[in-house]
Structure 1
Amino acid sequence: MDNSLPPAEELALVDRELAQLDARRSQLLARRAWLLRVLYAPVASTAPGPFPAAPGPRPPVADSTPRSAQNVLLTLGGTLLTIAAIAFTLVSWGSMGIGGRSVVLFVVTSAALAAPVALLRRSLVSTAEAVAALGLVLMVLDAYALHRVALPETDGLGYTAVAAAVLAGAWTAYGSALSRLRIPLPVAVVAGQLPLPLGVLAAGGGPTAFAWAALVTAAADGAVILWTRPAAVRITAAVGATALGGWTLLTGGWLSLTSPWSGAALLLAAAAPTLYAARRLPTLAVAASAVAGLAAVAAAGGLLRPAVPTDWTVPAYVLCGLALASVWLLSAATTGDGAAEEAGRRLPGGIRLGLAGAGAGVAALGVVWALPPVAAGLLGPMARTTEVWSGEHAGRALTSYPGTAVLVLAVAAAVLAAVPRLWARCGTLALVWALLTALPVSLGLPYAVTLALQLLTTAAALACAVRPGPLTGGLRRREPAEGPGTPGSAPPAAAAAPSAPGSPRGTWAPARPRPQAPATEPGTVLGWIAYAGGLASAVSAVTLALDVREATFAALGTLLVLLVGVAVLGAGARRVVAACAAVLTATGLVVAVAAAGGFEDHWTALALLLVPAATAAVGAKARPVALPVEITGAVVALPAFALAVSRPAFLALALAGGGVIAAATAVRPERRRFASWTAAVLFLLATWVRLAVWEVTTPEAYTLPVTVPALVVGLLRRRRDREASSWTAYGPGLAATLLPSLVAAWTDPEWARPLTLGVAALAVTLLGARFRLQALLVLGGSVLALDGLHELAPYVVQAVGALPRWLPPALAGLLLLAVGATYEQRLRDARRLRDRVARMR
């Protein structure tokens, strides 16, 4: 409010604001009255009023609404009445005469069923639901009481079946007449599940008859699902159809094994309504048609099973599954007369997918059944039970397994080969490899034929890995999606996006194509699958060939040629793996030759060094695979050194040979630094082993071979880098000799080693002072001081022993006084010395 206004204008402003407040208060009061009518009036009278939702803060929410409280009261009341009715029927029924019973039955049930009519007229829907539920329970109790008193001799199952049918019909009529009630119709559906199954049991029918009754009931449930609208009714019917239909299918599957014709008829009869439901309900088309397809395959396989030998049972089911999977071919391109298109309209895509998936699932289970011979053919040679080169062969595994397993693998591979898709081609390749691996086990082939077949499988797989092009023939390639740059297509934003500010009208900014991840080439995928199979077959062939000497050489030689071919002709990681595998195969050949020649271990160790020597020679030429091949060769040298441990002289020779190979690798143009360090270590180890063989115990003989090369390397390092620290360049080399010699000098009673060490330490100290090298000065001076202390110690002890006992404390006191008097000067001298030493390199 603006107090600066004149009084007349301010009065008019106040009157206007008061009028607006009165109008707002009237609007809020009217809204409050309407909300009260909505909350506390019956359900039917809660129609939207003319008042819009008023803005403002929401009222606090109560713990329970009037409607929820009403429902709780009605539920409790109906439950109590039901309990009372049950107690009356079970306890007090027998104390009344037939007339009283009839009157009670008629009056109470009629009242309970008639009351909802009046309640619905007054829009008391919840109350009507509660009373109607009580009436339905009373009808069940009346049926029980009628059997108990009037028809006690009647069979219980038969009477229950008839009573359930009567109640289902009565409740259906009652619920249809009072459509606003939600309870009667679902309860009628529940009651409708009982008449036929219970009637069959009452008539003495067996499992087959019961399954047929369940099937008819499930079909009726399906009709309810398709041709009724209330959701509660459809859900109840769906639960019943699922339970009874599942029981029917399980019974049909069991009968297909014990009574094929009965089981086939039941399964096909169950498949027909399931397939019809799949056609009428697109959301369930795939699942329902898959169930129908499995039932059809079980029926057909059950009919074929008695007509074929036992070994052919699984192939029969597989053929049935593949026949069903062929319905997917109806989705192929239309022929000239449109036959495929017409068939596609008659059989929707969801049904085709479900049927084809069911057939493919059966075929996949058949392939799984055929895998044990594959595992036995691949892993059987690895479970060795005989000596190497003994000429004896392990007993064959799975001798009683059906030989038709290979037929299943062959048929599955042929079917997948006809599908022009990458996943199918991968499956075909894997199945062909599995077939070749399982053939020796399934057909009981001789040893020589088995080994030859494994080597041929390895060769074929590795050839496919190197040149996978023929495997991709006929594959459908995915067409690239049209993008903004595709001719004939407009940018997707051109029709709706406004022009950029400042650009001429009608000119549109070009849309950038969305980057897509590069797809894996089919040849790459197929090549790796073939490569994995080839390597697995190679390992199995080598282990199998160990039974016979000649077979071992033949297998290793063949694999060496194949792997070298892959390393030369292949590309990428496959080439590297093949080169490393060739090195290991060559190692096996060397060991086989040594074993055949009767070599001792130390001679075998020297022979094994031929492998790293060959890898070093190959690495100089084959640059792409040089490093992996050299590393593999270096790994092979480790067991060579281990074999030579028993003969130290040969161990020294082997270490020196390894050092030569490493040094030859280090001096190549690519300059492998690790090889140079490896060569130095090997040469040093060879020297130490040789000195140990000669029984040399002088420590300098072991340390000087380390010191001299280390000092040479440090000198070269300092020439290239004048800023390099003397500790880095000369520290390790000097410490390698000076420190062990110092330890030896302290325990040496002779004078030659301490004198020589002192002279050497003095020379090192002088060189450090001359060239201002910190490492030489500190190491040389420390060793010189300790060596001199060691030499003077006996004389000092002798002199101290001859002096009076009061003299050492007196001398120590004088020394402390002198140091204390010149403390500041000594401190400055120490700091100056520290700075000078720190400035050294």
Structure 2
Amino acid sequence: MRFADPQACPDCRGAIAGQSTCPHCGLDLTSAEVRQLWQTLLQADELLARAALRRDRSVQAPPPPQAADPFATAAPPPPPPAAPAPVPPATPPPPAQSPTVGPLPSYPQPGPVPADYALGGFLQSGQLRAGERTPPKEWSVGTILLTLGAFGLIVAGFIFVTRSWGDLGLVGRTLVLLGVTAGFAALGVWVTRRTLRASAEAVWTVVLALLTLDFFAARHEGMLGLDGMSIAWAWVVWGVVLVGLGILIGRFARAFLNADLLSTALVGGLGITLAGIGAANVPADWDMPWRSILALVAAGLLALATRPAGIRPLTITARVVVAAFFTWSYVVAVIGLVDHPKVDELVGDGHGLPLVLMAVAAVVIAWLVAPVRIWAVALAVFAVCALVAVPSGDAWRPEGAWLAVAGLAAVLAVAASRGTNAWAKGLRGGATPVVGGLVLLHLGLLADVFNAIGNGFDAAWSGPWDGRLDPVWAEDTAAWVVIPMVIGLVVVAWFVPRWPELKAIHRHASSAVAVALALGALVAVVEARLQLWAGVSALMVVAAALLAAHVRNLGVLVGPTAAVLVGFAAALAAPNQGVSASAYVAGAVVLAGLSYAKGADWARQTYAIASVIAFVGGLVAAADLLDPPHAVPALVGVVVSLALVAATGVVLRDQPVRIGVEAAAGFTMFVALIAEGSTSEAAVRWTIVGVVLIGLSFVVPDRQWYLWLGGAALAVAYVLLVVDSGFSFVEAYTLPLGAIALAVGFYFVRKKPDMETWLLLGPGLTLALVPSVPQALANPTDLRALLLGIGAAAALTLGIRFSWQAPFVFGVTILTLLVLFNIGPYANAAPRVVLIAAVSAMLLGFGITWEDRVRDGRKLVGYVRSMR
């Protein structure tokens, strides 16, 4: 049996398996006492082993291997004890002398638990692995009890002061205050000297809370003349006292604990906060910006006073508190600037001076405190911009603010484009809100652009060509202001991508300039209230410039920006038809240039489609301006579309935009074909399309399928002509088309002998014969039935002569139907017994000769299948 068993609790001997606390008796296995007990048990096992060796008088063997210390971690195992010298049998050892014991294993003295034991529990390996981090220590039961106790005492003291204080006299109150506070102060000194850090944190917190209660209670009761002190000065005084007490207690505790108390550091920060708030309320008649600055000064001086103490938690807390006061003072100064934007108020009444002081303070802080230099410079830059923009906007609304923002953004964008140190980064940080404000200003002014477009569509083609664009959101603004605004936006777009932080988008500076130029031009033509034709012309000139930049490949967004600008220009031109026609044609030219330039095929296809639609629409609108006959504009659309299709097949045969141009021209042609007009006018349009497409099928080698489209168009034209002529019989519509289809089919039957007749002759036979069948069967004895029978017989003859399946099937089917319907009236007039006898005789004959009929039927099916 061994006393030191790593699998058993040293108290209850219950089984354990790596826990930090015994699951049976609750013993804390990570405490220093248990570690010392473990070393003692190991020593006992060693002594027993030596006694057994001495009893057996045998050669001293090495002591049994020690069990792994479940409480130790990084300490190496102690060396084996030295074997004692052999003792002769005749010389017994002195009875009073204890056996010689080798070197005992070292174990830690009672005190703070090493960091290696923060894991808690028994470590099977005895030490932390290399690179393994120790997890944070959980609160112990003692720490929790100390915290609850301290909090309870504070609450009890508060309740006592507020509820039972009035029952005591002045002497009693004084004694209570002094006695309780002095007692806890003595307890704080005692626990600090005993190096009980958690207890020191709790007790000193109670002491400082009691001192605070003592001070304000004494002021309330008029002790020591404190009732003559205003509450604001009381906060200032007590804040200073708290800071001093925090420094004194912190330095005293560091001498014994070799660490800084967090509670006193937090109390010091609270003292700085109280002193700052109190200082802000001392001059109650001052404006809030000045009171905020006074609070900042008071907090800053107290924070500086804490630096010689060298208490790091207190220093950090003081910096956080001062930063909060600085932020508050800065915001209040900006609000004061906005509330008093007039120049005489800012200069004469001094309402702008607080923000000036905050800007100077930010520069000083940036100079002295390197870690916050970027933020401090940014705040200083923003303060200067606010001091310029706010009074400018108030002096001249809204143009003053627009000019100030545009100018400041341009200057800051240029000035911040170089440098990588903290000062330059801070400058860019302060410039960012101003640059963003300029962009947002232009985006906001787009509301007037969309409003002008909406008004134009409401009065489409009914307004004068020299009418003015009317802004609503920013009416009555000076027209010339838009020029520096556009210049400022372009400068920002060129220099901001050159900032070191935006190096990844530096190569897109040209695209940014293109977007800025288009946005600025849109806003400018509306806000300047230009005449309709002048505004649209200006936008088209900018689009043409962007086209030139796109041709030179100056940016990936230059081309799309030009296309979007063309669309806006066409939309703004809606009030007048002449301006719209000109805008459509000019836009088509720009879009055609975009489609011709280099770029992705899908983009070029898109530009080509838009160009064709705009071009055809512009020419149609221009033709309608001449007040021609009603059918002329639609005819112009058909002719122009056909011309574009022909030009595509001849000129753009090898260009990637060919498909897009053909599709767009086909769309515009179809729209023109179905345009409103009489039946005869529509027939003329369809006839022109059919003839031209059939002609193009012979001119364009890879567009032979135009022949079928042309034929279909001619068929539609013929039907429209027949409808317009008032014919009532169906053959007038279908027979000519069937004849044409049969002629084409006979031509290809000879040209392509491997193709089936159903594909080549089936459509023509269907159009020529099938539409007449219903009326011929209804009147099987009239002329239509006779002519249909002749046509079916001709088809049957052709089928048998040339072994063509389609004519054969059409002929047999139609002739059979005609014969049956011709016999029908006579069969119906004959007596029923004759009809029954005839049918029975036929069935009997078929039954007797069934096998021959089956053989003949198979031959007939094989004959038909063998046809072409």
Q: Report TM bin, short chain.
A: 0.7 to 0.9
Alignment of 1:437-586 (within 5 A): 437-439=522-524, 441-445=526-530, 447=531, 451-452=533-534, 454-466=536-548, 523-525=554-556, 527-528=558-559, 531-532=562-563, 535-536=566-567, 538-539=569-570, 542-543=573-574, 545-546=576-577, 583-584=612-613, 586=615
Does residue 159 in structure 1 map to residue 245 in structure 2?
no
1:682 matched to 2:713? The reply is yes
Q: CA deviation at 1:75?
A: 3.3
Given that residues 648 and 689 in structure 1 are in contact (C-alpha distance below 8 angstroms), is that contact kept between their aligned partners in structure 2?
A: yes
2:246 equivalent to 1:171: yes
Structure 2: distance between partners of 1:832 and 1:57: 101
Give the partner amino acid of 2:242.
Answer: L
Per-residue deviation, 1:653? 1.0
Does the 8 A contact of 2:570 with 2:587 survive in 1? no
Alignment of 1:251-330 (within 5 A): 251-257=332-338, 258=340, 259-261=345-347, 262-275=350-363, 285-302=373-390, 311-328=399-416
Distance (Å, rounded) in 2 between the aligned partners of 1:281 and 1:791: 115
CA contact (8 A) 1:462 1:534 kept: no
1:685-704 alignment, distance < 5 Å: 685-704=716-735
Contact 1:105 1:142 in 2 (8 A): yes
CA contact (8 A) 2:448 2:526 kept: yes
CA distance in 2, matches of 1:736, 1:747: 19
1:119-518 to structure 2, matched below 5 A, reads: 119-150=191-222, 151=226, 154-179=229-254, 180=259, 181-204=261-284, 205-216=286-297, 219=300, 236-237=317-318, 240-257=321-338, 258=340, 259-261=345-347, 262-275=350-363, 285-302=373-390, 311-328=399-416, 331=419, 349-369=421-441, 376=448, 380=452, 383-384=455-456, 386=459, 388=461, 391=464, 393=467, 396-397=470-471, 398-403=474-479, 404-414=481-491, 422-439=507-524, 441-445=526-530, 447=531, 451-452=533-534, 454-466=536-548
Q: Does 1:634 align with 2:666?
A: yes
**C-alpha displacement of 1:694:** 1.9
| Distance of 2:743 and 2:298 partners within structure 1 | 99
Letter in structure 2 aligned against 1:587:
V
Deviates more, 1:278-287 or 1:131-140: 278-287
Q: TM-score, normalised by structure 2?
A: 0.71
Greater mean deviation of Cα atoms: 308-317 or 613-622: 308-317
When residues 730 and 310 of structure 1 are mapped into structure 2, their CA distance, relative to the original with a 3 A threshold, is closer
Any conservation in 1 of the 2:781–2:822 contact (CA below 8 Å)?
A: no
Aligned residue type for 1:156:
I
Is the Cα contact below 8 Å between 1:746 and 1:790 reproduced in 2? yes
1:475 matched to which residue of 2?
none
| Secondary structure of the corresponding residue to residue 663 of structure 2 | helix
Hey, what does 1:600 align to over in structure 2?
629
| Contact 1:321/1:358 (8 A) holds in 2 | no
> How far has the Cα of 1:407 moved from its partner?
2.3
**Could you say if the C-alpha distance between residues 100 and 830 of structure 1 is closer, same or farther in structure 2, counting changes exceeding 3 Å?**
farther
Give the count of matched residue pairs.
736
Report the Cα offset of residue 79 of structure 1: 3.2
Give the C-alpha shift of residue 727 in structure 1.
4.2
Q: After superposition, what is the alpha-carbon deviation per residue over 1:15-49, rounded to whole angstroms, capped at 9, x for unaligned?
A: xxxxxxx9999554533577999xx9987133659
Are the counterparts in 1 of residues 543 and 562 from structure 2 also a CA contact under 8 Å?
yes
Matched to 1:797, the amino acid is N
Cα 1:203–1:57, aligned 2, differ >3 Å: closer, same or farther? closer
* Residue pairs, 1:673-822, within 5 angstroms: 675-711=706-742, 724-748=755-779, 750-764=781-795, 775-776=806-807, 778-799=809-830, 801=832
The match for 1:30 among 69, 82, 88 is: 69
Written as runs of structure 1 = structure 2, the 5 A alignment for 1:651-690 is 651-672=682-703, 675-690=706-721
How far apart are 1:663 and its partner, in Å? 2.2
What residue is the counterpart of 1:109 in the other structure?
A: 181
Whether the aligned pair in 1 keeps the contact of 2:460 and 2:576 (CA below 8 Å) is no
What amino acid does structure 2 have at the position aligned with 1:163?
W
The code of the aligned residue for 1:451 comes to W
- The answer to whether the 8 A contact 1:386-1:394 is kept is no
Match of 2:166 in 1: 94
Structure label with greater radius of gyration: 2
The one-letter code matched in structure 1 to 2:176 is V
Contact 1:462 1:531 in 2 (8 A): yes
Deviation at 1:92, TM superposition (A): 1.9
Q: Secondary structure at the match of 2:775?
A: helix
* Deviates further, 398-407 or 66-75: 66-75
What are the superposed Cα offsets for residues 56-98 of structure 1, whole Å, 9 maximum, x if unpaired? Answer: 999xxxxx99844444433333333333222222222222233
Name the CA shift for 1:382/1:195 in 2 (closer, same or farther; >3 Å): same
Q: 1:354 to 1:25 in 2, by over 3 A?
A: farther
Q: Which residue of 2 aligns with 1:506?
A: none
Q: Is the 8 A contact 2:526 2:535 kept in 1?
A: no
TM-superposed CA distance for 1:654, in Å, is 0.9
CA contact (8 A) 1:275 1:288 kept: yes
8 A contact 1:82–1:134 mirrored in 2: yes
Q: Is the 8 A contact 1:466 1:527 kept in 2?
A: no
Amino acid in the other structure paired with 2:470:
R
Q: What is the rounded CA distance, in whole Å, between the counterparts of 1:678 and 1:530 in structure 2?
A: 38
Question: CA 1:242–1:741 in structure 2 vs 1: closer, same or farther (change >3 Å)?
Answer: farther
Stretches of structure 2 lacking an aligned partner (at least 5 in a row): 1-60, 76-104, 129-135, 499-505
Cα deviations across residues 697-723 of structure 1 (Å, max 9, x unaligned)? 333333334444545555566667665
Q: Among all aligned residue pairs of Structure 1 and Structure 2, give the percentage whose two residues are the same amino acid.
A: 23
Give 3-state SS (helix, strand or coil) of 1:388's partner.
coil
How far the C-alpha of 1:733 sits from its partner, in A, is 4.0
TM-superposed CA distance for 1:690, in Å, is 1.0
* Residue matched to 2:651: 621
Helix, strand or coil at the partner of 1:183: helix
Task: Give 1:772 deviation, angstroms.
Answer: 5.7
Q: Deviations over 1:112-161 (max 9, x none)?
A: 34434443554543343333333343333333432333356654344234
Distance, in Å, in 2 between the alignment partners of 1:527 and 1:206 is 53
Aligned partner of 2:112 in structure 1 is 44
The 2-side partners of 1:800 and 1:351 are apart by 120
Structure 2: how far apart are the matches of 1:225 and 1:775? 110
Q: Is the 8 A contact 1:279 1:351 kept in 2?
A: no
Deviation of 1:649 (Å): 1.2
